[in-house]
Structure 1
Amino acid sequence: MNFKFSLSEKGISSHIILSISDYRSEKLHILTPLKISPDQWDAEKERPKNIYLKKNKNISAVLDRIKVELAEYIRQRKTGKKAVTKTGIKKKLSEIITVKALQQPENSFLSLTLSYITVRKEMICHSTYKRYLVFFRLLQRFEGFLHRRLILTNINAEFVRDFFIFGKKEEYSENTLHRTIHFVKTILNFAEKKGITTHVRELEVRREKQPSRIIILTESEITKIKQTEVPEEYETAKDWLLISCYTGQRISDFMVFNKSQLSEAGNRMYITFVQQKTHKEIVLPLHPVVLNILKKNDYCFPDPIDHNVYNRRIRKIAKLAGINEKINARKRTGHRSEDALVKKWEVISSHIGRRSFASNFYGKIPTPLLMQATGHSAEKMFLNYINHNSHDRLATLGNYFEQLYAG
């Protein structure tokens, strides 16, 4: 069974045509009610070009549902030795397009996945919940690629092979593919705890060690940012960037810092808060840079900024500060990320403060104290934040070599 999608005659908006082959040894063409602008259509991939735009995402999801449910309908008709007619296919197609979401049978893998996400929703932070939904939608697209539903008993080594074929064709990064497989293993372990036998042990995937690409602001770069004059509307973002570099917290935590969380003991000022992701209570002494920002604001934190606005503004601030070092990094091009040689300011985002804090103070402050500040439980996870190739640290090491040699 083969499904192909194409557009009707070109115009401002064209209907999507479904062509089905292996139907009585002839092709069947059906004009669907789905419409899209020709300049938004990818003829090679037979779907919208940018599947991350809301309208295109919906169309792409419907096309995947058509491939899964229509193939299932035709297989069931043939298994039951019932006629597969054009009228029957058009009726089923209308049902699929009308329903807003793919109906998940109880024995399907995605049904179990939804159960897991629902159970975990109240125990995880919103960013983790959103990441789970990204994995879920990726697996839905994989079902469209296969033209069939994922059944729990078929999640095995063959599934991994097919998933990587799909991933390479769709140009997903190695990191995305491996993280999705790890999520699938999590669902299978969830099933095992419910007494369901799975093939979870067949999902062992060797992963080549990727080069470390921890992007940080060095102490000298942070100093440049402190000394850079920025437009008035960017002052708040600049203050938050400096606060993040000297508190080491995620944006979900530092962007909601407020005066009521402050306390004083032994001539030192502290902030006490509960991390949204880990639910850990953190008591953190405030760095002099943070104290200076508070002093100029009558000991109030700056006004919160929308996440996306914050990211755009701190990139602009870093550009104004001359953070122009050329680095290899993943940069988004359209709706995909790819390796590129870019200026550092181009790839700065909200998490850079947390990574900079961990890297800049590593080796100067005992690691257990740093982990207490960042909220990491395992040193292995904490070390993932460290840029071991920091120029400042390498320069310091070089200075030690010179001093020892001179002595």
Structure 2
Amino acid sequence: MATINFLYRSNKDKSNLNLRLLYRKNGIDYVIGGVSKIEVSKEYWSKYHNSKRISDIDTKNLQTEVNNKISELENYILNQFENTIEDTNKDWLKRTINEYYNPTPVETIPNELVNYFEYFKDRKKSEITESTEKKYNTIKALLKKFETSTNKKFLIKDVNENFKKAFEDFCNKNQYSHNTIARALRSIKTICKHAQHNGIEVSHQLDGLKAKYKETDNVYLTFEDLNKIETIEPSKLTESLNNAKDWLIISCYTGQRVSDFMNFTKDQIRIEDGKHLLEFTQKKTTKNMTIPIHKKVLEILEKRNGHFPKPISDQKYNDYIKKVCEIAELNEIVKGGKKTETAPESKVYRKEVKEFQKWELVTSHIGRRSFASNFYGTIPTTFLIYITGHTTEKMFLKYVGKSNKDIALELTKYF
């Protein structure tokens, strides 16, 4: 059993009350002293605090206020005392009093869908990459537009079959592609499952929500296309286009993301047993990579005195390589997705799937797809997956732009 006494121990006219914690343990009596933040006057404490008859209303109110403060602090300390497994001493009492006046803020977990995105990103900030965070920001912005259109703030628990249908209808009306909608719904479900793990109520229909991707045509540059690019008449290219052309060839023979190959430098190259190796860390996966350098890449380095081309922004790279491929006359008609303006001068762009000339579909990702497609069936898949850095063969095969018939015909040479 423990008790607490409050005392006025100062010679000043006004001061904070001291307190003493008294308790018995193993037959021994203990007294621990501390200082509260309850400030009173010396006159009040000596004349009025314990008085039963106070006629002045202000003094009576002060007595009630001080008693409430004393009671709350006393209850907190005694409760902590009963539940502690630590040795109670002066430091413990000082820390307990400080915790009472400076409590650790209670974390508030949002239950609104849009707001939970920020909470999720904050909890996952050490795990998600910059590109993944960008993806979640895009989906969050799409959800805000959806909420505006419905004039409703959706809670985590509102994500059910009705939500899915309404969201799909909104996205279809605004000409978003099927896979964009599927990707958004999968991410929304991930957000909700994370919220559920943190005790937020979710719909009983959440687990049953499915969003399937449609198979898309993977456009890639064949070896014949690459030869056309390599043999472009130099006079047809500006310095910037020639720089981008070399990066494009490098990407098609290294299989790396633009965020990685655009940062290649000669210092990352080492020679072992006469073989040139490139060592770097993938930005997205943080994997340390060592890959062999293809002779086509070595040819570019040789003409550039051992240096890689000049780094440029992703946007400029995308613009330049389209122009390079147009000059190379990659005019084959192929089916693929391309962002187009929904209406003249609308400045609203959506991916449109139809037939285009191949050069129109060239983006920074085509090098990675071209590497996977051109060497699939020639280099063992295990090695290709290592070079591209994919986590599974299933993910890797999504990058292979060949049809089942093309792959079957190539595999006949092994039979």
State the TM-score, normalized to the length of structure 2.
Answer: 0.67
SS of alignment partner, residue 121 of structure 1: coil
- How far the C-alpha of 1:371 sits from its partner, in A, is 0.6
Q: Does 1:377 align with 2:391?
A: yes
Match of 2:261 in 1: 254
Unpaired stretches in structure 2, ≥5 consecutive residues: 1-107, 342-348
Shifted more, 223-232 versus 307-316: the winner is 223-232
Contact 2:189/2:206, CA 8 A, preserved across alignment: no
- Change beyond 3 A, Cα 1:290–1:380: same
Cα displacement (A) at 1:163: 1.0
- Say whether residues 1:355 and 2:359 are aligned partners: no
Tell me, in whole angstroms, the C-alpha distance in 2 between the residues paired with 1:182 and 1:283. Answer: 33
Paired residue type of 2:178:
E
Q: Which residue number in structure 2 is paired with residue 185 of structure 1?
A: 189
State the partner residue of 1:116: 120
8 Å contact kept, 2:156–2:201: no
The alpha-carbon distance between structure 1 residues 127 and 207, as it changes in their structure 2 partners (threshold 3 A), is closer
> Which digits, 9 at most, give the CA deviation of each residue in 1:113-166, with x for residues without a partner?
111122333432222211110000001111112211111221222211211121
Which residues in structure 2 correspond to 1:314-329 (within 5 Å)? Answer: 314-329=321-336
Matched, 1:239 2:242: no
Amino acid across the alignment from 1:326: I
Which of residues 138, 142, 155 is equivalent to 2:142? Answer: 138
Q: Residue 277 of structure 1 aligns with which residue?
A: 284
Q: CA deviation at 1:201?
A: 4.7
How has the CA–CA distance of structure 1 residues 224 and 199 changed in structure 2, closer, same or farther, with 3 Å as cutoff? same
How far is 1:388 from its partner?
Answer: 2.3
Instruction: Spell out the pairing of 1:262-273 with structure 2 (5 A cutoff).
Output: 262-273=269-280
2:227 corresponds to which residue?
Answer: 223
The answer to whether the 8 Å contact 2:245/2:324 transfers is yes
- The question of whether the paired residues in 2 share the 8 Å contact of 1:215 and 1:387 is answered with yes
What letter corresponds to residue 158 of structure 1 in structure 2? Answer: N
- Given residue 146 of structure 2, which amino acid in structure 1 is its aligned partner? F
How many percent of aligned residue pairs carry the same amino acid?
Answer: 38
- 1:296 matched to which residue of 2? 303
Q: Which moved more, 1:156-165 or 1:120-129?
A: 120-129
Contact kept in structure 2, 1:189 and 1:200, CA below 8 Å: no
Measure the CA separation in 1 of the matches of 2:162 and 2:354: 33
**1:159 aligned residue:** 163
- Scaled by the length of structure 1, the TM-score of the pair is 0.69
CA distance in 2, matches of 1:358, 1:273: 19
Q: Equivalent residue for 2:59?
A: none
Inter-partner Cα distance in structure 1 for 2:154 and 2:215: 33
Q: 1:259-316, CA deviations, whole angstroms, 9 ceiling, x for partnerless residues?
A: 1111110100111111111111110010000011111112111110111111111111
Letter in 2 for 1:232: T
Kindly indicate whether the alpha-carbon contact (under 8 Å) linking 1:156 and 1:203 is maintained by their aligned counterparts in 2.
Answer: no
Match of 2:201 in 1: 197
Select between 332-341 and 117-126 the one with higher mean Cα deviation.
117-126
Which residue does the alignment assign to 1:332? 339
Matches of 1:356 and 1:275, distance apart in 2: 19
Distance of 1:232 and 1:161 partners within structure 2: 50
CA contact (8 A) 1:328 1:341 kept: yes
Which position in structure 2 is the counterpart of 1:312? 319
Distance in 2 between residues matched to 1:172 and 1:354, nearest whole Å: 25
Tell me which residue corresponds to 1:57: none
TM-aligned CA deviation for residue 339 of structure 1: 1.9
Query: What runs of 5+ residues in structure 1 fail to find an aligned partner?
Result: 1-103
